Structure 1
Amino acid sequence: MADTTMTTADGIPLKVSLRKALMRQKMRALMLVAPLFFFLFITFVMPILDMLFRSVDNSIVPDILPRTVLALEEWDPDVVDVPPEAAFEAMVKDIQEGYEAKTIGRVGRRLNFENPGMSSLFRKSGRRTKKINEAPYKEALIAIDDRWGESQTWRVIKKLSPKYTASYFLQAVDMQETVDGEITWQPEEYQVYLNLFWRTLVMSGIITILTIILGYPVAYLLATLPLRTSNLLMILVLLPFWTSLLVRTTSWIALLQTQGILNDLFVLVGLVDDDDRLQMIHNQFGTIVAMTHILLPFMILPLYSVMKTIPPSYMRAARSMGANPALAFVRVYMPNTVSGVGAGSILVFILAIGYYITPALVGGRTGTFISNYIATYISGAAQNWGLAAALGIILLALVLVLYLLYDKIVGIDNMKLG
């Protein structure tokens, strides 16, 4: 019986040849996508993973005080107020070694987040423990500072002995773990972060709504005007992108400040007295106004691109069926722009949540966002990478939850840019 297997001109079975050709196509596609994949992995995935690790990392204490951590494993603070002599000896040796390596300040700063005063205690002890060469170590340390004889000092060190901790996340939601292991709320004067998260979400929502209200008519006008005119007006919409963000923000300071242009105008026309000028800057109002102006193009462009694809015949058909212009606009035109509204809202809201420069310049005490505090803990004097990472992770989780909620209500498939 003759072999009926189909082959190519060089005698290779057709199935094998097709399989190899398909594999080559997949490899070419993979090679084309690989640069983008590695770029996203390095610039997006790795920073998130690093931030997640920093939010639970507590390696400073066990790395700098290894002997002390080991000596405190058997100590039960509920039975004995202070640890035995061996723990004091271990602490002296760890401080001496850390002082020589210039790392003792790091552990002091870390412990200071949990118990104010620990930073100064370790700095002071670092300078003086080099004179301690023999027992009794307990009396020698207490002679340097009485806090070494207090149970609270050692309880904090023991609490932070593990390499990983949840204390940053607890602090990020205004809670704390006591030295006894109980989870409680922070004192009222330290409860700031939940309020900051709420303020960030509310103000971002207000900014998003305002950009919809202001951007929708502009986008409609651009979409319905003749192309030559709409292109000319589009330049005005895009003009802010060609101006520095810092310039745009400081311009609002000049406009809204107490001695600014708007207040001078209100005084001139008699709306307010010269002694009762309006406070429109360095508060929530200033942040909302400035950010609405800055983010408005990000709402107009998606709306315009979607509106431009809606055939004018839809409105004419609705009018021919008896609908008045207002009813035709609400019942026919607006539903077709939902995808543009969704795209613009997601874009503006996410940008608003993470904005830093504008709230920092015009927000004052009441108009700053959680992102300003994250930046402060990363680069400011009160450097606390762990807390900054925990706040960032919670903010990312909130954005993902809101994104999923939007998908359930509107449907992410309905969001498009035109």
Structure 2
Amino acid sequence: MEKKTSITLNDALTQAFQAAKSLPTEKISFLKASGRILATDIFADVNMPPFNKSAMDGYACRKEDLGQWLNVREVIPAGKSPQFKNEPGTCSKIMTGAEVPAGADTVFMVEQSEANDQQQIRFTGSKTNSNICLRGEDVKTGDLVLTAGTMLKAQHIAILAAAGCTRPEVYQKPKVGIISTGSELVEPTVAPQASQIRNSNGHQMRIQAEQCACEVNYYGIVADELEQTRQRIASSVNENDVTLLSGGVSVGDFDFVPQIIQQLGFQILFNQMAVKPGKHTTFAINNGKYIIGLPGNPVSSFIQFEIFAKPFLYRLMNYTAPMIALPLPLANDFHRKKADREEYVPVKINRKNEVETISYHGSAHIHAYHQATGFMSIPTGVTTISKGETVHVRPL
């Protein structure tokens, strides 16, 4: 395989996004749409609120009648239409969310009222708001309420429900096959023997992919053996949109993945990224199928999934996630020896909203991330950052 120079993360994402083909769409129940990406715009089919609605429990009347003794015409519960028009000298007792009767332009609180022996009601406050939610003041019929490309969360499900859109059209979930390579690996249920280690990053990536609303197929551990690795990768490629590998992508004697990828007809767009951790990250394409090869160390695979694989998987669903980087002051001096790559360092945010670095021993030290709020980015060429300087933190 031809050697290629390291590219920046931005260049890697640009190449991957250009190669990505959006998946087909499907209609599903809105109750199962959390985390999915909306494929069409959604428009309101009714006004919201659909009628002038009381914002509180109280009495509906004309504003000019405030302070006068008023005859109570009726009690209006939520869900029932008023039976009477509000006339001068009258009011209606009304519940929160109920329709305000015609003629009324004010609702005053029960707490600001008094009754006399004739069962009349009078406003006792000095002033009051109208306390009426006007018909269509939130949304009018035909208004655009959700745009295509929205990741659906709880608040969006509520809007779908309010708009009567019970079967939204969303992009299909990417099918992701996950393979861990390495003869030294055993599954978590196995007690490691000499020269063995439990497979943590394979399961870590499973959860990361599932959190991206992907359909995940786990193909287990494959030993560092050429034909076995080829068969496992070929099976995943055949059954999934994206094959996600950890390990076997570097330059060791038993790193077979790059040559197998090419033998399976894939074009490798890049095989090195100028970031730390995760330099040896590979991305390959073949007619709507994709292979992402990540380093075998758990921190490398974790970070590379967050900064590269996740945005790419979202791209297949026609979604561009916002790149949040919080500018915050550093709580302690930071220094590194080499500055030839952009580096990501685990951090936590203290009560003063300062960024504290976490003790970190390298790309195998996944324990450093269990208390991390996120990771800060150290630009290429920067070796020292002083206490109080602004750093940018990507939340986890």
- Point out the structure with the larger strand share: 2
TM above 0.5, one fold? no
- Point out the structure with the larger helix share: 1
Shorter-chain TM-score: which interval? under 0.3
Bigger radius of gyration among the two = 1
